[in-house]
Amino acid sequence: MTSTAAADTRDQGLRRGIGTFGLGAAIVNVVIGAGIFSLPAGMARAAGPYAHIAYLLCAIAMGAVVLCFAEAGSRVPTSGGTYGYVEAAFGPLAGFVAGVLLWLSCVLAAGGIAAAFADALAGLAPVLGAPALRAAAIVGILGILMLVNLAGVRPASRLIAATTVIKIVPLALFVIVGACFVGRAHLSAGVVPGAGGIGRAILLSLFAFQGMETALGASGEVADPTRTLPRALVGAMAFIALFYIAIQFVAQGLLGGALAASHAPLSDAMATIDPRLGLLLVVGTAISMGGWLGSDLLGAPRVLFAFGRDGFLPRALGRVSPRSAVPATAIVTHAVIAALLAVTGTFETLVVLSVLSGCALYVGGCAAAWVLRRRDVALVGTPLRLPWLGLWTLLGCGSMVAVILLAQWDEIGGLVAAVAGSCLLYAVASRARVRAS
């Protein structure tokens, strides 16, 4: 068994205080974001009553990716998550590109969710729609969550666990209560899609499944990582897949053909039973957004920390607070950039690029799992050894490449440009490191 570096050296100063439930809750929280409250309508527009097929296909593809990430994570449980896996397998350039794509996707998503959170508050209190108050709401929510994360990894993971439970309650109520009122005729209502519709639905559902890589950014602070990482990852993603399918089934069963035209499908669906239940889903949407941002601020700043630690970005980003043992500068930097994006509202135009960046990351992570197994790399303890890893690697890589090809050519060009820009940034950073040494 070989080791690329000692884990306690790579993540010196960080405390491994995140357990299985805490990490699993962070994964659930960041994957089940605000999107699930509106996604069923988009799925219905794309695939009609056959949306569950797109979910199943996406769940199978993501299942292979999750298995690969489970083994790679148990072998390289370090801050930065996918950045660490790819770097250990393919070298610093590939790792840097993966890290840039990961962080870019995270910070753009954080800006978009924070903006949507402010808009949701404005829906409840219209006065908050004024530009100054909207900006104050964005800075306020990100500032509060930033302070919680600066206090330490334990309070941050506890907050995430609490908000996950609170967020799951209205969704679970939607599934349990709504299932009692499903109309059989509604389940087959809607426009029958063509192949293009199913493909678009797969893209949409993949966006809903993405996010585990954000929570895995805090892998350097996971306790007993060779056991905790695989258990939390597989358990959380299996739960999410079943939950998504159940939510789509109930939404279709309650609204039928009207689901595709709904702007707030879960709220509208529950309102058919009782208007008060519809209001509960509106509140659940706001809580979901806040919880998602909390998970993002736990995982994504660790990518910046890893870059600073390794000398690719200013060293200040790689420093750990001696009081709370967290990468304070990286957390503040990530929160500030997310707030600026949210205030300017630029995220919406880059949603598809975020999805494609995630697909590229998954290809790199799956391939890294295979290479790390071949080299028998393990930073901490005895790693997970999955049966048929080669099959999962092929299925994961192949399915993600297929999803990328479903996008428009200009969207694919945007992904290529992001990769090229990352390579250029790496070259500049590497020269700076040489001169500094």
pLDDT tens by residue, 296-319: 888 889 889 888 888 888 889 988
Q: Is residue 278 part of a domain?
A: yes
Cβ-contact 403, 61 below 8 angstroms: yes
Q: Is residue 15 part of a domain?
A: no
The CATH number of whichever domain residue 51 belongs to comes to 1.20.1740.10
Give me the chain's average pLDDT, please.
82
pLDDT tens by residue, 64-77: 888 888 888 888 87
pLDDT tens by residue, 14-38: 666 677 777 787 788 778 866 677 7
pLDDT of residue 345: 66
Residue 119 has pLDDT above 60, yes or no: yes
pLDDT of residue 178: 92
Q: Is residue 365 part of a domain?
A: yes
Residue 234 has pLDDT above 60, yes or no: yes
pLDDT of residue 367: 95
Per-residue CA distances from 340 to 53, 120, 142, 207, 278 (Å): 38, 18, 11, 23, 32
pLDDT tens by residue, 212-221: 776 676 666 7
Q: Is residue 363 part of a domain?
A: yes
Q: What is the secondary structure of 289-320 as a DSSP string? A: HHHHHHHHHHHTHHHHHHHHHTTSS-GGGG--
The pTM score is 0.74
Q: Is residue 375 part of a domain?
A: yes
pLDDT tens by residue, 128-171: 778 899 899 999 999 999 999 999 888 887 887 777 777 788 88
Residue 377 has pLDDT above 60, yes or no: yes
Number of structural domains the chain divides into: 1
Residue 8 has pLDDT above 50, yes or no: no
pLDDT of residue 225: 73
Q: Express as a percent the part of the chain with pLDDT over 90.
A: 19
Task: Return d(Cα 247, Cα 250) in angstroms, integer.
Answer: 5
Mean pLDDT of 321-349: 84
Q: Is residue 10 part of a domain?
A: no
Mean pLDDT of 161-185: 85
Q: Is residue 3 part of a domain?
A: no
pLDDT of residue 393: 95
Q: Is residue 4 part of a domain?
A: no
Return the structure tokens found at 224.
Answer: 């007993």
Which range of residues forms the domain containing residue 312? 20-436
The secondary structure of residue 125, as a DSSP letter, is S
